[in-house]
Amino acid sequence: MNTAVFPKTTETGRIPELFGSMVFNDHVMKERLPKETYKALKKTMELGKHLDPSIAGVVANAMKDWAVEKGATHFTHWFQPMTGITAEKHDSFISPEGNGTVIMEFSGKELVKGEPDASSFPSGGLRATFEARGYTAWDPSSYAFIKDNTLCIPTVFCSYGGEALDKKTPLLRSMEAINKEALRILKLFGSTDVTRVNTTVGPEQEYFLIDEKLFEKREDLKLCGRTLFGRKPPKGQELEDHYFGVIKPRVAAFMADLDEELWKLGIFAKTEHNEVAPAQHELAPIFTDTNLATDHNQLMMETMKKVAKRHGLACLLQEKPFEGINGSGKHNNWSISTNTGVNLLEPGESPRENAQFLLFLTAVIKAVDEYQDLLRVSVASAGNDHRLGANEAPPAIVSMFLGDDLTEILEAIETGKAYSQKDKEVMKVGVHILPRFPKDTTDRNRTSPFAFTGNKFEFRMLGSDLSIAGPNIILNTIVAEELSQFADELEKAADFNEALEELIRRTIREHKRIIFNGNNYSDEWVKEAEKRGLLNLKTTADALPSFIAPKNIELFTKHRIFTTAELHSRYEILMEVYCKKLRIEALTMSEMARREILPAISKYASSLVKTALEKKRLSEDLPAVYETETARRLSELSASLGEKILKLEDDLDTAAAISDIGEQAQFYKERILIDMAEARADADEAEGISAAEYWPFPTYTELLYSV
């Protein structure tokens, strides 16, 4: 692997001091809070409880003093509404003294609860806009931090009726659910010391960097985050010379700066490298608790954009900025671990540990099989539809990769046959030790949507700009459900070991169809998956209705993740966002065609005709074939493009008149997207035969090789 040599903007020795310097973390709390307050706060954090009002004031004051010393002037409740990005409303610390002076103040009440005027956040009908008020409440399981001279307090966002209006509330609920069910299982295995089980996540983030000046010249990039026009460049990623390639100086400077900003926020930015496509890169953090990892990933995306600007670059996080070039994803590495430091998805040393590992593993297998639809829903978006199944990202079919070794072991357990040909060993759960699995990359299948990588699962279907809250809510909940079913069965068992073996065997038999170790990009897999009865929900419009399927409503309400009303509201929001995004893209397309492309084609064609006429005037036999033929083709293309834009605009009117949101989404998928593809084809052909100086915006070659 080619590791970049980063310019040293930070003295290496300063990194430990720099790390987390903008975070009101445990270290700072211990230092700045009275002992009793610190203890009470820690307890609140560990148990995920609300903060006692009697200590909130003390904590708030210490936080404020710390923040002001670091240059902060404002505070905000930082939350994650369903828009997919984070929201904040800044208030300053100043408080009038009465004599024309001010002091800096921050009360316990202000720390614990905020009331943003939340009427314009999406609620999917949960909160009528006239009762505009939702409230935010501090989530003490995530540390406060300083960003842009503002003390940010991570919060949840709810309506006054108690319904969640954000992504964090259900995420915390799902972590509670899996904690509860996993503890039941651990108890059955005789565990006495574990008091908390958390899921952990390390999200690998892909992104593109292009020159900001070129970005500014493209309305599609500015408004939609992706190009709606553009011919494939002569050189794309076919040579695969970019992956892990030497990092260019400008990019290296960006990465060094980014790392420093992230470290200050206590974010474990670890690995930076080039990705497959030109101008594409990746940043991987070290994993942490899911709640914190989610906050950090949001901050990471925001910081990437900000730091890019500082370097005259634009950071593209959209899932598919360039047609014909790999899009960007996010790999959600996920595992379950105890507060005693045991990774429950890591095969252990003893037969008992291994039996426990196998039980958690089969719970995940069953979960992924039974809730394929929800996993698909959790990554569904208009942008991601361009990636999934496009032979660069996993297909829309959810399956699971376990690798040959582990698959063989499961087969042996299921059939009771010998595990290895060599030693004829029969695997018995709870009796035998599992053989060592290779944990390195050799056994990896990069085409799988959900791969076991030795001690964790890597969920690879996420688009790059997605909040990881959604997929992790689903993962935590579906695995909690299976653990709950397992616990119900095992708690009743007369002979634990026997019941365990039988449960694992049955689960493998009933759910092994979800395991696929082959090439997920192949056409044969699509057919094979259909034979196995696996779902293939190709688009967001097809996937979203599963969110409110009766079996899923039952799941979410049983574990108190979403109420039925919350589910319906989220379904509405997701559908609406899908339609709105496509509408914005279509409108942008029509505007670019009418105001930039068609005039450019016309101008160039007329200059060609003028030249041809001039040639003719000079001499009858001066050939003007290039000019006349190109002008002819351009005229045909502009006529056709014009017609297609009219059709697109007509269809947009039709779409707007469809009242059922599900039907509207289908219409966008079946008509608008097709209209757009057809219009694009004409424009891209015209680009290929037009003089560079006439083309109104930067081409793919310019964009992709601009840095």
Of 250 and 273, CB closest to Mg ion: 273
Interface region with ligand ADP, contact rule CB under 6 A, candidates 45-53, 59-67, 200-208, 607-615: 200-208
Neighbour count for residue 264 (Cβ, 10 Å): 18
Distance of closest approach, residue 120 Cβ to ligand ADP, in angstroms: 35
Is there a contact between 520 and 394 (Cβ–Cβ < 8 Å)? yes
Phi/psi for 258 (5° steps) reads -60, -50
CA neighbor of 703 nearest in space, from 207, 209, 206, 205: 209
Q: Which does 557 bind (CB under 5 to 8 A by kind): Mg ion, ligand ADP, none?
A: none
User: What does 287 interact with, of ligand ADP, Mg ion, none (CB < 5 to 8 A by kind)?
Assistant: ligand ADP
Q: Tokens 């006495």 label which residue?
A: 192
Counting residues that bind Mg ion (by CB under 5 A) gives: 1
Shortest reach from residue 474's CB to ligand ADP, in Å: 16
What distances in angstroms separate CA 111 from CA 52, 56, 60, 339, 403, one per listed residue? 12, 7, 6, 28, 48
Give me the least distance between CB of 164 and ligand ADP, in Å please: 25
To ligand ADP, the closest distance from the beta carbon of 285 in angstroms equals: 6
Structure tokens at 555: 């799941």
Compute the least distance from the CB of residue 364 to ligand ADP, in Å: 13
Tell me the C-alpha distance between 550 and 162, whole Å: 23
Residue 335 partner contact from Mg ion, ligand ADP, none using kind-dependent CB cut-offs of 5 to 8 Å: ligand ADP
x-or-dash string of contact with ligand ADP, 27-66, rule CB under 6 A: ----------------------------------------
The one of Mg ion, ligand ADP, none whose footprint includes residue 286, by CB under 5 to 8 A per kind, is: ligand ADP
Interface residue with ligand ADP among 453, 464, 467, 590 (CB under 6 A) is 453
- Which residue's Cβ has the minimum distance to Mg ion? 331
Q: Which residues contact 491 (CB under 8 A, 6 or more apart)?
A: 184, 188
Give the residue, chosen from 73, 83, 191, 343, that forms a contact with ligand ADP under the rule CB under 6 A: 343
Asked if residue 505 lies in contact with residue 413, where contact means CB atoms within 8 angstroms, the answer is yes
d(CA 638, CA 599): 9
**Residues in CB range of 171: below 8 A, 6 or more apart:** 290, 291, 294, 469, 472, 473, 476
How many angstroms separate the CA atoms of 704 and 687, rounded?
17
As measured in angstroms, the least distance from the Cβ of 338 to ligand ADP is 12
User: Interface with ligand ADP includes 201 (CB under 6 A)?
Assistant: yes
For residue 23, the one-letter residue type is V
Q: First and final CA of the chain: distance in angstroms?
A: 22
Q: How far is the CB of 259 from ligand ADP (least distance, A)?
A: 14
Query: What's the angle, vertex CA 28, arms to CA 76 and CA 17, rounded to 5?
Result: 105
CB of 393 to Mg ion, least distance (A): 12
Q: Is the dihedral of CA 319, 322, 323, 325 positive or negative?
A: negative
Q: Which amino acid is at 230?
A: G
Q: Which is nearer to ligand ADP, 102 or 286 (CB)?
A: 286
- Site residues for ligand ADP, 573-632, by CB under 6 A, read none
By a kind-dependent CB cut-off of 5 to 8 A, residue 127 interacts, out of ligand ADP, Mg ion, none, with none
Q: Which of 116, 122, 202, 395 binds ligand ADP (CB under 6 A)?
A: 202
Q: How many residues bind ligand ADP (CB under 6 A)?
A: 16
Q: Which of 139, 204, 369, 501 binds ligand ADP (CB under 6 A)?
A: 204
**Which of 200, 237, 291, 590 is in the footprint of ligand ADP by CB under 6 A?**
200
Chosen residue from 74, 331, 387, 669 binding Mg ion by CB under 5 A: 331
CB of 483: closest distance to ligand ADP in angstroms?
17
Asked whether position 383 contacts ligand ADP by CB under 6 A, the answer is no
CB closer to ligand ADP, 349 vs 440: 440
Minimum distance, C-beta of residue 18 to Mg ion, in the bound complex (Å): 27
Q: Which does 77 bind (CB under 5 to 8 A by kind): Mg ion, ligand ADP, none?
A: none
Cβ 567 to ligand ADP shortest distance, Å: 27
One-letter-per-residue 3-state SS of 532-598: CCCCCCCCHHHHHHHHHCHHHHHHHHHCCCCCHHHHHHHHHHHHHHHHHHHHHHHHHHHHHHHHHHH
- β 150-159/74-78 pair status: parallel
What the block records as the tokens of 692 is 């560079």
Q: List own/partner pairs for 633-640 with CB under 8 A and 24 or more apart.
A: 633/689, 634/601, 634/604, 634/605, 634/608, 634/686, 634/689, 634/690, 635/605, 637/601, 637/682, 637/683, 637/685, 637/686, 638/598, 638/601, 638/602, 638/605, 638/682, 638/686, 640/682
Rule CB under 6 A: is residue 471 a binding residue for ligand ADP?
no
Q: Which is nearer to ligand ADP, 332 or 362 (CB)?
A: 332
Looking at residues 413 to 442 of the shown chain, list those that interact with ligand ADP (rule: CB under 6 A): 441
For 139-166, give the DSSP string.
-TTS-EEEETTEEEEEEEEEETTS-B-B
Residues 294-333, mask of contacts with ligand ADP (x by CB under 6 A): ---------------------------------------x
Q: How far is the CB of 117 from ligand ADP (least distance, A)?
A: 38
Give the single-character DSSP code of 311.
T
User: Which residues sit at the interface with Mg ion, rule CB under 5 A?
Assistant: 331
User: Which residues sit at the interface with ligand ADP, rule CB under 6 A?
Assistant: 200-202, 204, 284-287, 333-335, 343, 441, 453, 455-456
